[in-house]
Amino acid sequence: MQRSIGMLSFVGALCLSATAIAQEGMLQSQALVSALRQGGYVILIRHAAGDKAQKDAASVNLADCNTQRNLSKDGRIAARTIGQGIDTLQIPVSKVFSSPYCRAMDTGRLAFGRPEVSDALNYVTDNEEGKRRAASGLKPLLAAAPSSGTNTVLISHSTNILATIGFVPEEGEAIVFKPGKSGSYQMVGRVVAQQWSSLMPQSVTGKQ
């Protein structure tokens, strides 16, 4: 019996069935790591888990994190886990672009230490105008080829990602895209924050 696409989100879409891989060209875990080590991909990350006890103020000041929902303790741990996993797996990252919101910038700082603000990744409201702005800003970034031998990281929000690719990833989840020709791109893998360490091959972990 063919598995439904809904199963992909349950397993983070890396422990994929052979059917799903064939359908969408998604790479299995070690194949994805090998591809990322060669560079040429865009890694889109939804910011790590936010503090559910906080809400954005009615009028957010992007320079004042006190007016925003920030990362929770678990979110900060997850952000470090992402960075440590990518570093240990020797996946080269040249550029890290982030929404100016503190929860996105902090995800970038804790994971990579050097995010650059991109207004194209800025949080948008879930209405038709917001969706249009999100897609028009994010799509060109997904289609932009990174510097040779490296990967680009983008950090944004659920509303932006939903408007652009049609589904909402988990907080801290990474979605990997391969830029193509004439502004095209293809989704090739997904990794939730806690999965990075499980992607390490035996040669890295030292397990026999």
The answer, yes or no, to whether residue 6 has pLDDT greater than 50, is: no
Q: Looking at the domain assignment, is residue 181 inside a domain?
A: yes
- 61-99 tens-digit pLDDT: 999 999 999 999 999 999 999 999 999 999 999 999 999
Convert 174-188 into a string of H (helix), E (strand) and C (coil): EEEEEECCCCCEEEE
Rounded Cα–Cα distance for residues 67 and 57 (Å): 5
Q: Looking at the domain assignment, is residue 16 inside a domain?
A: no
Q: Please compute, for residue 138, the number of CA atoms within 13 A of its CA located in the half-sphere on the CB side.
A: 32
Q: Looking at the domain assignment, is residue 6 inside a domain?
A: no
Q: What are phi and psi of 172, to 5 degrees?
A: 85, -5
CATH of the domain at 176: 3.40.50.1240
Q: What percent of the chain has pLDDT over 90?
A: 76
Q: Looking at the domain assignment, is residue 170 inside a domain?
A: yes
- 124-169 tens-digit pLDDT: 988 999 999 999 999 999 999 999 999 999 999 999 999 999 999 9
Rounded Cα–Cα distance for residues 156 and 101 (Å): 9
Q: Looking at the domain assignment, is residue 18 inside a domain?
A: no
Residue pair 187/139 in contact (Cβ under 8 Å)? The answer is no
Q: Looking at the domain assignment, is residue 9 inside a domain?
A: no
Domain assignment of residue 159, given as a range? 24-205
Q: Looking at the domain assignment, is residue 19 inside a domain?
A: no
CB contact set of 15 (below 8 Å; sequence gap of 6+): 29
CA 44 to chain centre: 3
Number of domains in the chain: 1
Q: Looking at the domain assignment, is residue 167 inside a domain?
A: yes
What single letter denotes the amino acid at residue 24?
E
Confidence of residue 5 (pLDDT cuts 50, 70, 90): very low
